[in-house]
């Protein structure tokens, strides 16, 4: 794909709705690498954000202050959607890299009333995830049965909701970014 792509291509809609795309997936699926590669392309009208940039509290703090990790994740997802919905209108597509449940995104839809919400799942084989986590990521402690179960749960959610799934097992980071960009283009066509 040509590097000098533009999403807006001169469109003249009076007040287009913003598209918010949450890119989710288990650790090692390639979310952050792909979103960073997409961000580096400088696509007009697209801005990328990273869920963990707000800080992730310890398990103890999540339990004490929010009632647990799931409750913190749901609340943080809703806060992110509110922030993204309030962005300047020149940002047509806000991409959020975050390991969150698709159900939390759609449950918090009222926090983004001026935007359309989408979720794209990045998924890979358990072997590829383990290799990435044990190798380049340097996080072998995440290559667990629990992470494999989380990936299966997310895939089930994506399949049940008919979400966009990008299978990253045999793709390069740039190829995954190409797939993401192609998906974004369908949203603003």
Q: In this predicted model, what pLDDT tens digit does every residue of 101-110 receive, in sequence order? A: 999 999 999 8
Per-residue pLDDT, 150: 94
Q: From CA 74, how far away is CA 71, in angstroms rounded?
A: 5
Residue by residue, DSSP assigns 116-151 as EEEEEEEE--HHHHHHHHHTTT--GGG-SHHHHHHH
18-187 under CATH 3.40.50.300, yes or no? yes
- Tens digits of per-residue pLDDT, 62-77? 787 777 778 888 889 9
> How much is the pTM?
0.87
Query: What is the rounded average pLDDT for all residues in the chain?
Result: 87
φ, ψ dihedrals at 164, nearest 5°: -70, 125
pLDDT tens for each residue of 132-151: 999 878 889 989 999 999 99
For 11-119, where are the alpha helices, taking DSSP H only? 31-40, 59-61, 69-85, 102-107
Q: What is the pLDDT of residue 9?
A: 37
Domain boundaries, the chain: 18-187
């Amino acid at each position: 794909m040509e590097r000098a792509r533009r999403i807006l291509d001169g469109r003249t809609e009076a007040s287009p709705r913003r598209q918010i795309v949450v890119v989710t997936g288990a650790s090692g699926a390639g979310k952050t690498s792909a979103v960073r590669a997409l961000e580096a392309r400088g696509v007009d009208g697209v801005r990328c954000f990273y869920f963990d940039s707000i800080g992730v509290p310890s398990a103890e703090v999540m339990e004490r202050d929010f009632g647990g990790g799931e409750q913190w994740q749901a609340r943080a997802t809703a806060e992110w959607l509110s922030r993204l919905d309030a962005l300047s209108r020149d940002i047509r597509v806000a991409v959020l890299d975050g390991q969150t449940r698709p159900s939390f995104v759609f449950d918090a839809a009222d926090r983004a009333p001026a935007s359309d919400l989408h979720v794209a799942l990045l998924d890979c084989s358990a072997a590829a995830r383990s290799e990435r986590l044990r190798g380049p990521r340097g996080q072998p402690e995440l290559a667990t049965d629990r992470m494999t179960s989380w990936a299966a749960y997310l895939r089930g959610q994506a399949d049940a909701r008919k979400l966009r799934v990008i299978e990253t097992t045999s793709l390069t980071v740039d190829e995954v970014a190409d797939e993401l960009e192609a998906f974004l283009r369908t949203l603003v066509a």
